[in-house]
Amino acid sequence: MSDPYGADAFKGRVDGVLSGFVARETDELLAIDADLRPVADQVEAAVAEGKRLRAAFCYWGWRAAGQPDNDALVRAAASMELVHAAAVVHDDIIDDSPLRHGRPTAHLALRAALGPRPRARSAGRALAMLVGDLLMSLAGQLFVTSGLPAAYLARARPLWAALARDLIAGECLEILRTGAAPDTGDSLKVIRYKTAKYTVEQPLLIGGALAGASGRLREGLSAYGVPLGEAFQLRDDLLGLFGDPARTGKASLDDVRAHRPTALLAETWRLAGEPERDLLRRLLGRADIGPDGLEAVRGVMSRLKAPERIERMIRARAEEATRALDGTDIPEHAERALTALARSATVRHH
């Protein structure tokens, strides 16, 4: 891959790694029994799309440490996308989300594949949970069989445990705080652990550890990665409620129906007077909320300028991330790439 960073070229390389690896693994699955076809289809669907940001952060953590382009490193970086695929499948089950990339989520697709049979709903959810488990297992397998030397892989192994622990902690905190009194600090903690760390910081650190990055560089990568990861999820929360579902591929009602502890909701609640809070109490968490209810919630948020506050939080974190690069001694091409990635992660419409 030539410099400066070419996002499309890199994405193509990661897509190629994932499609070949997953095709071989699903062939092995189908060799056990042809009835596993719906499961194999969902494993393949889970990795079929994506911007490959997590792989890119891992790659540029490696390059920031002065290492050259390396196909084995691209394979290792691609494993980050399997972690993401697993997290998405599990998250969609937890949230009972109907859409992902404009298509039925794994648990709904598997329920449909089961046809008219007893307990199809619970069976579809159980199968999707196992799809997520398999994807996480495949992530580890792709990483250790990437072709990188064993000594390099050993340097990064402890970070895998941290990645899984932080991701699960964030998911648990979101569940525990769903429906609770909105609090911006609590929401930002959920964001940090559920998304920011495994999306940006930990892929960067894994790439850096594989390359033998110094302690000072690792500190700089974290100082860049954590605020940028938070900005990424804050943007996602805004798009989830105010984005066009045709572009985001997700249902706009999800966060409102589930009464999720987003920073957008927390800032709205903090700014709201008692009449607005009464309205929010009546609408948030309702399974039967429809388009009118969604518009009412959006109206409250817009009148209180909560989206603008989130935009400012995004900008502040993106600026903090790019400033952190100034204090790190990394090659110019890596700094350019990480600056471009910061923009790609925070200035987006889907």
SS3 (DSSP) at 195: helix
The pLDDT of residue 251 is 61
pLDDT-flagged residues of the chain (< 70): 1-5, 248-252, 349-350
Residues 6+ apart with CB under 8 A from 297: 241, 256, 280, 283, 284
The pLDDT of residue 350 is 62
Residues 6+ apart with CB under 8 A from 142: 17, 21, 75, 76, 78, 79, 82
For 1-20, write each residue's pLDDT tens digit.
Answer: 344 447 889 999 999 999 99
What is the topology classification, in CATH, of domain 7-346? Farnesyl Diphosphate Synthase (1.10.600)
The pLDDT of residue 1 is 39
The pLDDT of residue 315 is 96
Question: Is 65:121 a contact under the CB 8 Å cutoff?
Answer: no
Instruction: Specify whether the backbone of 95 is left (phi greater than 0), alpha (psi in -120 to 50) or beta.
Output: alpha
The pLDDT of residue 65 is 97
The pLDDT of residue 2 is 43
Indicate the pTM of the whole model. Answer: 0.93
